[in-house]
Structure 1
Amino acid sequence: MSTPTPVVFIHGLWLHATSWTPWIDLFREAGYEPTAPGWPGDADTVEETRANPDRLADHGIDDVVEHYTNIIDRLDTKPILIGHSFGGMIAQKLLGLDRAAAAIAIDAAQIKGVLPVPLSALRATLPVFKNPGNRHRAVSLTAEQFRFAFGNAVSEAESQELYERWTIPAPGKPLFEAALATFDPHSPAKVDTGNESRGPLLLVMGGKDNTVPEAVTLATLKQYRHSHAVTEIREFADRAHSLTIDSGWRTVAEGCLAWLRAQSL
């Protein structure tokens, strides 16, 4: 009997790792061995993480990459990585480092070289950037801020429910690092997009996403033009940044499963 392929889910800013629970159940039913480890400083539950925001503060992109590298090193085989938002950036970095069999980056945060910064993205991240001191802090969103950044394509009631159920404070440092990537030759937001031997990559974008608008994902795809490794893109035109956790999550998850099967994974 063959060993199930491991799948590691990587959450982004402001969502707890347990928000992947429905995906884990679906992928396990599909024959994979899924896990969703939290970021450095995450507690086991949403409530405990909210109660200890200082544990999350000042963790940057390199810290998160190292954290997941250590997790991958304990696996018997290279995993499939599925990341959302900044988790999508982390998944791309690890794929470029040949630490994964494949990666799916869902509404992924901008990597170095991606220049478009639409106004909606600036507004979505303003809660962090409005205070330079937030680089070293963990920052929470209000329900109204979450509605704009995540829940703009669902009802106000659903957005409120998602906010209350899944949101946690997020370290500001990764956002500052990504924003300054253009000016930093050694930016932690840099991904080896030219790697020819890496596994396949799927970029998923929500057509109504305010935090990571389509322009960002399309510019990310362009960064991979010098590699012949498989790089594909899929759009969910009516979805926003909450597409992994809202009532339409299964459509996105099943699309990811179908793509993995098409890649013989």
Structure 2
Amino acid sequence: MPKNVVFIHGLWIHSSAWKPWQELFEQKGYATTAPGWPGDLETVEATRANPDGLNEQGISEICNHYADLISTFDEKPIVVGHSFGGLIAQELLANDLVAAAVAIDPAPVKGVKILPFAQLKSGLPVLGNPANRKKTVALDEKQFKYAFGNVLTDEESNALHAAWTIPGPGKPLFEDATANFVRHSPATVDTHTAVRGPLLLTSGTEDHTVPKEVTVAVAKLYADNTASVTEYHEYEGKGHSLTLDSGWNDVASDVLAWLESKGFGPGES
């Protein structure tokens, strides 16, 4: 069974935020990597100073970037993605490029028709200006607090903002927001017929960026795919910062337990 785990970050967060997860998974016997999006630089500081490489990096570009990286592995890895990383994880799994996938509070795939107010408000720093489609946009502390840190103290939310946030490309948000109106949207995932490895979808009940009802709607899209395993886990009281904040270990431990339950523990053969 695969021992390699690839972590994929979401919009506005640098890949180095996965370090605590990597350390935990490596302690359990996995080999891990957390490559950034195309255009990300090695550190938070470097990416903030020069984010132009992220301009016009959309869903297809990001997905192809990870597909190319994964193609260098000797065997299909497991992939764990958060937010837009969760959408990318589902695309990689549906195309049989990875052995199993965990999509933590994932950006919605094409076919989800609800748009809660909290989700709209979280995306307004980008979607509020059409010119942002070709640019990168950073969240300030207040915007991050609403989108990610709404269940956290101001102190913890501001500390996470200072430690991990980077400007994010506007293109993926515009692509996702218009997915249901575009015939060949890059947010399309074969939820109905793909024969693939197991998928875990998760949601924090207090998430503003990807509200619970959105992820539940995604799970329902998979309901008629009886050839493949799809499961849904819910985390009471958690927001979109659930992979970053002081409660991250609860989520990571649940993911590890789920992988073991599906036969993807590092000692499995």
The TM-score range, normalised by the shorter chain, is over 0.9
RMSD, aligned CA = 0.9
| 2:58 match | 60
Distance change in 2, residues 1:187/1:261 (3 Å): same
The separation in 2 between residues aligned to 1:239 and 1:261, in whole angstroms, is 23
Q: Which moves more between the two structures, 196-205 or 41-50? A: 196-205
Provide the secondary structure at the position in 1 that maps to 2:201: strand
Aligned to 1:217: 215
Indicate whether 1:139 and 2:137 are aligned.
yes
Equivalent in 176, 179, 185 of residue 177 of structure 2 = 179
Q: Report the alpha carbon displacement of residue 10 of structure 1 after superposing the two structures with TM.
A: 0.3
1:28 aligns to 2:26 (yes or no)? yes
User: Which amino acid in the other structure matches residue 200 of structure 1?
Assistant: P
Structure 2 counterpart SS, 1:104: strand
Q: Separation in 1 of the partners of 2:38 and 2:190?
A: 23
Paired residues of 1:4 and 1:31 also in contact (CA < 8 A): no
Whole-angstrom distance in 2 between the partners of 1:105 and 1:177: 19
Q: Distance in 2 between matches of 1:31 and 1:204?
A: 23
CA–CA separation in structure 1 for the residues paired with 2:84 and 2:255: 18
User: Any conservation in 2 of the 1:4–1:33 contact (CA below 8 Å)?
Assistant: no
1:192 Cα deviation (Å)? 1.1
- Unaligned runs of 5+ residues in structure 2 are 265-269
Residues 89-109 of structure 1 deviation map (CA, whole Å, 9 limit, x = unaligned): 000000000001000000000
For 1:85, the equivalent position in structure 2 comes to 83
One-letter code aligned to 1:74: T
| Structure-1 residue corresponding to 2:68 | 70
Which runs of structure 2 are paired with 1:125-204 in the superposition (5 Å)? 125-204=123-202
AA aligned to 2:30 is: Y
Q: Percent identity?
A: 54
1:207 aligns with 2:199: no
Q: Partner amino acid for 1:169?
A: P
> Is the contact made by 2:2 and 2:77 (CA closer than 8 Å) also made in structure 1?
no
Aligned residues: 263
Partner of 1:254: 253
User: How far apart in 1 are the matches of 2:223 and 2:246?
Assistant: 34
- List, as ranges, runs of 4+ consecutive aligned residues in structure 1 with deviation greater than 3 Å: none
Secondary structure at the aligned position of 2:97 is classed as coil
Q: Distance in 2 between matches of 1:111 and 1:4?
A: 26
Give the deviation of 1:195 after TM superposition.
Answer: 3.4
The residue number in structure 2 matching 1:235 is: 234
Quick one: distance in 1 between partners of 2:134 and 2:2?
Answer: 40
Cα distance in 1 for residues equivalent to 2:255 and 2:85: 15
Contact 1:201 1:231 in 2 (8 A): yes
Deviations 1:135-157, CA, capped at 9 Å, x for gaps: 00000001000000000111110
Contact 1:5 1:32 in 2 (8 A): yes
What's the CA shift for 1:53? 1.5
Q: Matched residues in 1 for 2:71 and 2:37: separation?
A: 16
- Superposition deviation, residue 185 in structure 1: 1.1
Structure 1 counterpart of 2:103: 105
| Unaligned runs of at least 5 residues, structure 1 | none
Cα offset for 1:4?
Answer: 6.1
* AA partner of residue 248 (structure 2): W
Deviation at 1:81, TM superposition (A): 0.6
The answer to whether the Cα contact below 8 Å between 2:2 and 2:76 also exists between their aligned partners in 1 is: no
Amino acid at match of 1:262: S
- Mapped to 1, the partners of 2:120 and 2:2 lie a distance apart of 41
CA contact (8 A) 1:80 1:103 kept: yes
User: What is the CA distance between 1:196 and its match in structure 2?
Assistant: 4.3
Normalized against structure 1, the TM-score is what?
A: 0.98
SS of match in other structure, 1:105: strand
Q: 1:43 is matched with which residue?
A: 41
How far is the alpha carbon of 1:236 from its aligned partner?
0.5
How big is the shift at 1:217?
Answer: 0.3
Could you list the per-position Cα deviations for residues 84-126 of structure 1 after superposition, in whole angstroms to 9, with x for gaps in the alignment?
A: 0000000000000000100000000010001111000000010
